[in-house]
Structure 1
Amino acid sequence: MYKETPLIKQYYNLKKKYPDTILFFQVGDFYEIFGYDAIYCSRILEITLTKRNKKNNDSIYLVGFPCKALKTYLNKLIKKKIKVAICNQKKNEKDIDKNNIIDRKITNIVTSGISIYDDITKTKTIKKFVSSLYIEKNNKQIGISLIDFSTGELLTTEGDLKYIKHIINCYKPIEYLIQKSKNKIFNYYFNNIKNINLLDDNIFNYKYLYNKLLEHFKVFSLNCFGLENMKLSIISSGVLIFYIKTNYNLNLNHVNVIKKIQINKYVWIDDSTLKNLEIIKSTNKTGKSLFDILDKTYTSMGYRILNNWLIFPLKDKKKIYKRQNIIDFYFKIKENIKLNIIYNLKLIYDIEKLLSKISNYKINPNQLYKLINSIKRIKKIFKLLKIKNNYKIFNFKYKYIKKLNKIFYKINKIFTKDPINKLNKFFFIKKNISKTLDLYKKRLKKNKNYIFNYYNKLKKKLNINYLIIKKNELLGYFIEIKKNDYKKIPNNWIKKQKLSIYIRYTTKLINKFEYNIYNIKKKIFTYEKIIFNKTINYLNKNIIVLKKNSYFIAKLDVLFAFYLTAKENNYTKPKIINNELNSINIIEGRHPVIEKTIDIKNNYIPNNIYLDNLNNQILIITGPNMSGKSAILRQTALIVIMVQIGSFVPAKIVEINIIDKLFSRIGASDNISMGESTFMVEMNETANILNNISKNSLIIMDEIGRGTSTYEGIALSYSIIKYLINNKLKPRVLFATHYHELNKLLNYKNNIKYFFFTIKKNKNNFIFIRKLQEGLSNNSYGYFIAKMAGIPIQVIKDTKKITLFLKNN
């Protein structure tokens, strides 16, 4: 049992306010953690566990680390999704109570979703959304809002359970805010979601939150965001704003608009399709996704936009062509200009994250200089691309470029090129900005010269070879001599430090100079901080301009990445058509990932695919394993996605009608956590497809029915194809199968075409040609595949016998 000292009492009083956090408690130059939290953190942070006041009865467990290492230890806890409260001590000596305890307060709450300590130099970071959900009384309709604090993006929508699940699957929030009373129903609806914060129901008050939003956005109505009649969205958005401001002590000036999620403007791609097609992430640790192939971005903002574009491909033909036109433009400009664009893109920092720091006055001079330099690079790119002259191609309002120029001119003239990276340092303001500041800097220089002159006089007077005036943080200014010369120094010198070889002294005159320098520096810092804060105020007023320009440069970065990928891989510009057949025509298409990740790049076999809603609605593709069935399915879907994000594509010719939904049923996987077998997962995904198809859907299905008996699998596959054929919407379908019996069952259907992958036999072996041909295949070549895999000959012979027996009985 320990005795509660005043400091420990202060620690636990603050801890009570935020019981669900780990409290980083500043004590001097260290952050300390006490009690059971110390034991817990010693393992996660890999810090030695010790005790405070070991020799006394009031000892308590303790771990600590230097304040300068805050980000390192903070990130370790955030990665584990542990909430952290940062408690800083006030520096003013007057802030000490009667028990000689320095006044401290919690300045920030940090979670995996909301942090002001994000590293702006770290590239390739995706958006981290915190979500608020409001479930209506009848549990039928739900409002959802999502905020990425680091970039200031706030999104909202409302709808039924199915729609909200789709939104969650697309954006994948890492934290959730919900009503306490809806905890059970929330867990029932979303039983695999973690990191939930339960809030009192009285917070979800429509009128109160409506007014909070008006107050935050400084508007008279939410009509400007199109939200006036969206009660559930207003509540969920208001909760996010209220919760962050109240619990995290953060400013949200950089959150200056609420955007409605208009999912109908984008292609519907469900979570299983994103996973099956490996659009964002490969299922294989060493594999590559479509995102990996296209990601040649140079900015963090561009990286995040690319991620978003792939999840939400466009359905608007005009917007797709606008992106294509910029890629075309990149092809036409000179190589030296392109190299200049790359050079400048590389030097642009994460402006969106810098704006969150500006909004909360957490930016330091070094980071502000990074913003100045980033703006400078953006200006150069705009000049290289002649944005003003090429307005029709780039479609960016020139007024925002003019305003950016004004911002750059105003802040660039104030700050030096090499500022110190901490606010308690100085000399980051240029000359002629403040007469008073310039005067103090002159006085500082004079006092330093006095010390230098004093040093020269001492050298001559004392005749000591090694006599140096130095300065460090601990001792301040001092005179350093060698031990052998100590008899030559005057008696009135004051000894400061004795080392093995040297002795360090000070004098009354040095102390006087040092005192003057200290006071002058203090005044310089005060004046520089005033100018610095005025600049931050100015930037806060211009956050919209900075956001507009940063988004535009990020968009240019992504489209430049598309150009680089197209040039490197010989992609072509696709064409979007609008015919009654609703066709998809791909000539000599290639798989964008496979051709880059295996050794047959130069010998990749391209294939043709043609689909429409009349005679080519469903293509049934057969052939042995490894022949290319799954690849052609994925290849077709990925090419369509690439078209609708505005990219060029790996094919000779591509002409497609816009699709609005993309579904896939590929691969075999269990969902153990849900108690679902491979076959159950397969049926769930198939049911999702059949219940949600549209006229403009593209469906790819691979090996349906293999999770059950052969005859049931054949019957199931037949029934699914029959359902799709007879459906009035006539979705376009690619269907790969081993069930050759389907050919006989379906040969009377006019809108089905049969294709197979050719195999070249060579004595006892065969070669995969991987060329798609029209016609029927009646052999799966299972024995040959087994032989290639190294299955013993006796097993293969027995397999052949049993196969013949089953066929004949």
Structure 2
Amino acid sequence: MSEDDALNTPVMRQFAEVKTQHPDSIVFFRMGDFYEMFQDDAKDASLLLDITLTKRQNQIPMAGIPYHAAEGYIARLLSAGRKVVVCEQVKSDDPKAKIMLREVVRIITPGTVVEDHLLSGYQNNYLSVFWQEKNTVYLAFADVTTAELVYFYYTATEKEKIKDTIERFSPKELLYAETSKQSIPELGRDRQLILTPLLPEFLPSDKQTGAQVLVHVLDCYLKYNYRQHNFSFKSPRLIDESEFLGLDERTISHLELVENENNKNHTLFGILNRCTTPSGKRYLRQRILFPTRNPEMIRSHWDKIEILISGKKERIQVQTKLSEMIDMERVLARFRGGKASPRDMNGIQKTISAYGSVKETLDTIAFPFADLSKELVLFGTLLEERVFPGELPVFLGNSPFIKAGYSKEYDLATLAKEKGKDWILELEEREKKESGLSSLKIRYNKILGYFFEISRMQAKDAPDHFVKKQTLVTGERFTSPELEEKERSILEADEITERIEKEEFDFLIAEALKSFPNFLQMATEVASLDYHISLTQCKEEYQWIRPEIREDGKMILTDARHPVVEAFLPLGDRFVPNSLDLDPKEDSIAILTGPNMAGKSTYMRQVAINQILFQMGSYLPIKSASLPIVDRIFTRIGSGDNLTTGESTFFVEMKETAYILSQFTENSLILFDEVGRGTSTYDGLSIAWAIIEFLSGNFPRPKTIFATHYHELTELEKGKGIFNLYLDTFEKEGEVLFLKKVKKGKSKQSFGIYVAKLAGLPKEVTERASNILLGLESKKREIKVRKEEPLLFGNLLESTLPGKSVSEERILKKLKNLSINSIPPIEALQILEELSRWSKEKE
């Protein structure tokens, strides 16, 4: 058979039709007990799923998986950034049909999953919509599993802000219209995001604009993916960025707030996460990424923590109850997506009961916690009246679902299922005893149902109430009115229990969804409580202190620590705390110097993390602190190439620096680490120098820490708002001790060669480097000594020479306008060289 012939079969024509409609997805095509994949889908799946690639009719690539194991394979495909179309067998209305029909029942994409095994409990699963109207971009983020829906709008030119927002929400899938594809910003290289173009039927009408479009698109896409199920969201909420502390993707990454390449626990989230519930973990993650700028909200968080500190016994009781609660948001999402389990009703019942207990306990310590709504109280009553009180089945039919005594019909059917076998045995024993027929047996097959079977020799003595059903070579088969009645009860029992259980299950799901807003409110209360308990535990475990809010813009941290670094120090090591005092009107820009490994990066990061904790409403790892509310935190720490766009390390560094310098305000916190390293020393130093001057030229100035190895920058201390800090060291007999203590002033040296020695560079390399360094420092001292010479020489020239050339006038003018202490070494060297050339020409 040729390949064309193999493709031109009824089954393959069915597959081709589905694949044409879903070219960007892997089609799971149901055939008996397997989902089969064909052609390119099979090739891709065999690689991604590590399954055998075969051929159908020796022509068409094919790979398959057992249908009952599909969930695990689907999870792996989604994690690889693929979509899955599930195509099931359905009965045909045509009795003469020769093959089963297939129908798409579900399209599974990373942004629309509701199944627990496909989701992370501590992270939202966002589906994003990117929509452009003329010069305005609307950006929505919807979590199908929690019903959250928020949106932003920007001008089309604000690509960096759009990019930062997408990166911060980390959606798994982004919907867009083809007309706006070019406006979508390029995201980070490691960001795994499926871009899904909208089908024509998803596009809005001309009358729909803004938020209306976003909701319309989401509604169409979810109906298309789920077919028979509808999803609703909370009212779409326009997010005002002024409500939150701004954190771009680079800052989130640099500070390792929620992710760490080596160890996920070594993050701020990992340290703070003492949450008992999945919704609490998601709430914590959101608060880390979106700290508030509202002072009243910050104080409210602190007040709640104080209550929980004083009510430790009650807090422990509450945590026990929280552990009994299920993830209501995700359960309701499964209800809406047709993925409900009877066992979920157990969880809901326990959650409603536990919530009531939590409320009673919290009332005794005056912790604010909403009452359970009347609707949920009534729903809890429904469950108590109708649902079996023991462990419920994962699937209907596996064990009882309805409570005994609720339905007489159900009780009788259940009894028949449970006692049917005993009834048959009892009847067999009685009939055998009364008839005296030793060969009499009650048997069953699918054609005849239940029947009496008597040997041929004894069949003539069958009781009068037996009715013959079948004659065999070896005997006769009979039935009786009583056997038929018991058979009817037994065979109908499954049908009756199945019908009643499904009716009750569907009814309870519908009732639960009627109370959808009440359940969401309950989930929010639980998440917030769990969040505050988590922060309280951190306060107690790490001895954190409540800070103060100040209005004058000053940032004062006394003996602050880095919470993540401190938590993972080796046994016996102690974190060295450090202080900081920034004043936007006075000393606002700190130039931080010190050796490699001395702790400059840790110091800067701990300042930023303490600010984030502060605006989360957390206590801080400090001795004391009074902090302002900042609008943005910018970090320029570390760097890397962007090979996909051909951008070098230095170019990426300069792009990020340019973004900071164009976006900061007087209320921003800026952390620069070694800016200018990616180019020549003179270029890098000049750029760093100019950046600091630019920042100090603003008033009030942004709060800035500028870490550098360019010791020449410390000369800027005499400029407005600039001061020096350094990491102290102790040196003796060639050994260096990094004290990790920040002090005012300049560092002595970088100890780079010493660090290189520690790292294992060959001895001959480090010794040669030391000799080279001595020579360079000697040359530098010579330049420093000669620094005053051009001024003296220039004054002498000006007083003695009657006529001066243009070149001489330029030099003299520059020298007169600069004080000796403010001339950068590079510029002084250039002046020396020009004067040297000039003097030689005069000679």
User: TM-score, structure 2 length as denominator?
Assistant: 0.82
The AA in structure 2 aligned to 1:663 is F
Contact 1:254-1:355 at 8 Å conserved across structures: no
Deviation at 1:166, TM superposition (A): 2.5
1:38 and 1:472 map into 2 onto residues whose CA distance is 42
- Name the CA shift for 1:130/1:628 in 2 (closer, same or farther; >3 Å): same
Equivalence for 1:20: 24
The reply to whether residue 359 of structure 1 matches residue 336 of structure 2 is yes
Deviation at 1:689, TM superposition (A): 1.2
The AA in structure 2 aligned to 1:293 is I
Contact 1:462-1:489 at 8 Å conserved across structures: no
Deviation at 1:50, TM superposition (A): 4.5
Q: Secondary structure at the match of 1:119?
A: helix
Structure 1 segment 238-249 matched on structure 2, within 5 A: 238-249=216-227
Structure 1 segment 124-143 matched on structure 2, within 5 A: 124-137=121-134, 140-143=135-138
Equivalence for 1:172: 170
Structure 1 segment 714-733 matched on structure 2, within 5 A: 714-733=685-704
2:428 and 2:283 map into 1 onto residues whose CA distance is 60
2:478 and 2:676 map into 1 onto residues whose CA distance is 92
Deviation at 1:622, TM superposition (A): 1.3
Residue of 508, 531, 535 corresponding to 1:558: 531
Deviation at 1:309, TM superposition (A): 1.0
Residue of 112, 115, 128 corresponding to 2:113: 115
- Name the CA shift for 1:327/1:508 in 2 (closer, same or farther; >3 Å): farther
Equivalence for 1:10: 14
Deviation at 1:806, TM superposition (A): 2.8
The AA in structure 2 aligned to 1:627 is A
RMSD: 3.7
Q: Secondary structure at the match of 1:776?
A: coil
1:737 and 1:470 map into 2 onto residues whose CA distance is 91
Q: Deviations over 1:80-129 (max 9, x none)?
A: 22211112334xx7755422434442221101111243339x76341122
- Name the CA shift for 1:97/1:144 in 2 (closer, same or farther; >3 Å): farther
Deviation at 1:281, TM superposition (A): 1.0
Deviation at 1:721, TM superposition (A): 1.1
- Name the CA shift for 1:598/1:473 in 2 (closer, same or farther; >3 Å): farther
Residue of 723, 727, 738 corresponding to 1:753: 723
- Name the CA shift for 1:461/1:787 in 2 (closer, same or farther; >3 Å): farther
1:471 and 1:701 map into 2 onto residues whose CA distance is 83
- Name the CA shift for 1:592/1:189 in 2 (closer, same or farther; >3 Å): closer
2:130 and 2:486 map into 1 onto residues whose CA distance is 62
Contact 2:176-2:197 at 8 Å conserved across structures: yes
1:124 and 1:470 map into 2 onto residues whose CA distance is 52
Q: Deviations over 1:526-574 (max 9, x none)?
A: 1221121111111111100001101110111122111112211111112
Contact 1:755-1:772 at 8 Å conserved across structures: yes
Equivalence for 1:318: 296
The reply to whether residue 255 of structure 1 matches residue 230 of structure 2 is no
Structure 1 segment 423-442 matched on structure 2, within 5 A: 423-425=396-398, 427-442=400-415
2:595 and 2:656 map into 1 onto residues whose CA distance is 24
Equivalence for 2:70: 70
1:43 and 1:468 map into 2 onto residues whose CA distance is 57
- Name the CA shift for 1:619/1:638 in 2 (closer, same or farther; >3 Å): same
1:490 and 1:727 map into 2 onto residues whose CA distance is 111
The reply to whether residue 634 of structure 1 matches residue 605 of structure 2 is yes
The reply to whether residue 44 of structure 1 matches residue 39 of structure 2 is no
Equivalence for 1:596: 567
Q: Secondary structure at the match of 1:747?
A: helix
The reply to whether residue 196 of structure 1 matches residue 191 of structure 2 is no
Deviation at 1:33, TM superposition (A): 3.0
The reply to whether residue 340 of structure 1 matches residue 317 of structure 2 is yes
Equivalence for 1:499: none
Deviation at 1:787, TM superposition (A): 2.6
- Name the CA shift for 1:454/1:338 in 2 (closer, same or farther; >3 Å): farther
Contact 1:426-1:528 at 8 Å conserved across structures: no
Equivalence for 2:650: 679
Q: Deviations over 1:35-68 (max 9, x none)?
A: 443343233333334556x6xx9x8554433332
Residue of 279, 286, 309 corresponding to 1:331: 309
Q: Deviations over 1:333-353 (max 9, x none)?
A: 143x33333333233222111
Equivalence for 2:807: none
Deviation at 1:267, TM superposition (A): 0.6
The reply to whether residue 540 of structure 1 matches residue 539 of structure 2 is no
Larger mean CA deviation between 199-208 and 677-686 belongs to 199-208
Deviation at 1:664, TM superposition (A): 0.8
Equivalence for 1:149: 144
Q: Secondary structure at the match of 1:296?
A: coil
Q: Deviations over 1:433-461 (max 9, x none)?
A: 33433343345455344124246669999
Deviation at 1:625, TM superposition (A): 0.8
Structure 1 segment 264-283 matched on structure 2, within 5 A: 264-283=242-261
The structure number with the bigger radius of gyration is 2
Deviation at 1:365, TM superposition (A): 0.7
2:420 and 2:763 map into 1 onto residues whose CA distance is 94
- Name the CA shift for 1:601/1:306 in 2 (closer, same or farther; >3 Å): farther
Residue of 549, 573, 576 corresponding to 2:549: 576
Contact 2:111-2:173 at 8 Å conserved across structures: yes
1:356 and 1:324 map into 2 onto residues whose CA distance is 33
Contact 1:71-1:117 at 8 Å conserved across structures: no
1:304 and 1:784 map into 2 onto residues whose CA distance is 45
Q: What stretches of structure 2 of length at least 5 have no aligned partner?
A: 463-467, 470-476, 780-843
Equivalence for 1:690: 661
Q: Deviations over 1:422-441 (max 9, x none)?
A: 13546201123334333433
Equivalence for 1:531: 504
- Name the CA shift for 1:193/1:437 in 2 (closer, same or farther; >3 Å): closer
2:445 and 2:656 map into 1 onto residues whose CA distance is 68
Deviation at 1:767, TM superposition (A): 1.2
1:462 and 1:692 map into 2 onto residues whose CA distance is 99
The reply to whether residue 783 of structure 1 matches residue 753 of structure 2 is yes
Q: Figure out how many residues of one structure are paired with residues of the other and give that number.
A: 755
Q: Deviations over 1:169-224 (max 9, x none)?
A: 2112222222223334447799988522223567533456x4xxxxxxxxxxxxxx
2:322 and 2:749 map into 1 onto residues whose CA distance is 54
- Name the CA shift for 1:201/1:6 in 2 (closer, same or farther; >3 Å): closer
Equivalence for 1:662: 633
Q: Secondary structure at the match of 1:603?
A: coil
User: TM-score, structure 1 length as denominator?
Assistant: 0.85
Q: Deviations over 1:299-350 (max 9, x none)?
A: 2211211111111111001111111222212211143x33333333233222
Q: Secondary structure at the match of 1:85?
A: strand
The AA in structure 2 aligned to 1:563 is T
Deviation at 1:487, TM superposition (A): 14
Larger mean CA deviation between 632-641 and 443-452 belongs to 443-452
Equivalence for 1:650: 621
Larger mean CA deviation between 681-690 and 425-434 belongs to 425-434
Larger mean CA deviation between 785-794 and 521-530 belongs to 785-794
Residue of 765, 769, 784 corresponding to 1:799: 769
2:527 and 2:447 map into 1 onto residues whose CA distance is 46
The AA in structure 2 aligned to 1:770 is K
Q: Secondary structure at the match of 1:593?
A: helix
Larger mean CA deviation between 753-762 and 535-544 belongs to 753-762
Q: Secondary structure at the match of 1:766?
A: strand
Structure 1 segment 484-495 matched on structure 2, within 5 A: none
2:623 and 2:764 map into 1 onto residues whose CA distance is 47
Q: What stretches of structure 1 of length at least 5 have no aligned partner?
A: 211-230, 480-485, 495-505
The AA in structure 2 aligned to 1:792 is P
Q: Secondary structure at the match of 2:210?
A: helix
The AA in structure 2 aligned to 1:18 is H
